[in-house]
Chain A
Amino acid sequence: MTLAVFFGCTFIAFGPAFSLFLFTIARDPLRIIILIAGSVWGWGPWATSGHRAFFWLVSLLLSSLIWFIAVKASDPHDEPLQKGLLIFGVMFSVLLQEAFRFLYYKLLRKAIEGLVALSEDGCSPISIQQMAYVAGVGFGLMSGAFSMINLLADALGPGTVGIHGDSQLYFLTSAFMTMVLIFLHTFWGILFFHGCENRRWWEIVAVVVMHLAVSGSTFCNPLYVGSLVPSYVLMAIAAVWAYMLSGGSVQNLRRFLLCAQSEASPQPAS
């Protein structure tokens, strides 16, 4: 609980995401708008059960609403019921987040058609893959921010972590969890949009199942550290899959690592 913990956890949780933002998104104003719009959209599911952050926010709002109604309608002293309701709320919010991701996909498709119609040479200035990537980062940043920011604010103040017998690594594990979640959202964005574009339903189902698995794993273990490893494994799988879908390959990777003459990078193709 000091500045050291604060900065450490901030950089662990948000460092990779902000560097992604800086290097790939910050220079193009259109991408910034898509990022912020996506994050708002993601908020909706949270609130009911709860230009990208907007969509996540709306989904958060909607899912918190559902949870709130359910809680009010139930007995507040029934512990297992409350926990069950919470789990239900989280699952519902996961489903709603994916639904909002789909809605956002539809909105971005319309936007691309508009941009193509208005452009000089019939090409949109931004492709759907880039939008998928930016949308994923937006969702991820917003969900990460919502989960970490109160923790970070508390980390600045006085106190001792785990003094009552809980895990002493709570802040650290939360930070790592947030980081993996931001990455996961990014990759899920790419996978999801690719699945929607090419009508491959199993990709969409895989994204939803992964999301449920990651959320569910955090409930199952009391120690919370145990859910980190599966999440990282899932992230690696999603990363490789998204990379392959974006046109990457082992040769590209090798050439990139050897700094050879090609532009292999883990970003979606423009």
Chain B
Amino acid sequence: MQYQSESRSYYSSAVQGGVDPLERVVRLASGSAVVIFSVSTCCMCHAVKRLFCGMGVNPTVYELDQDPRGHEIERALSHLLGGGSAVPVVFIGGKLVGAMDRVMASHIGGTLVPLLKEAGALWL
């Protein structure tokens, strides 16, 4: 298995308009091919990051515990997912894939790689 060095781009706390956290989520999600909302201490988030890196994808990771308005986003995400843990959540090509279980189901089902290719996160 090949390891890729992660490149994370952190957006500073400069918020451009859009007070609604959900809107912010959507905006952030469309900003990159693969977006992961995470908490730096969360081990499941670590697992999902390693999954993508292991596939050769460079995800954009937002550590919500390092964002001043992180807990708002967390609440919004939790709501989006229908309760349960807010992180990790994965967006590919701006579209919501889901939490860890949906990501894994998609990978096993063979739909994750085509999604990644379509979003331009994976070549070959």
A associates with B: no
Could you list which residues of chain A lie within 8 angstroms of chain B, going by C-beta atoms? Answer: none
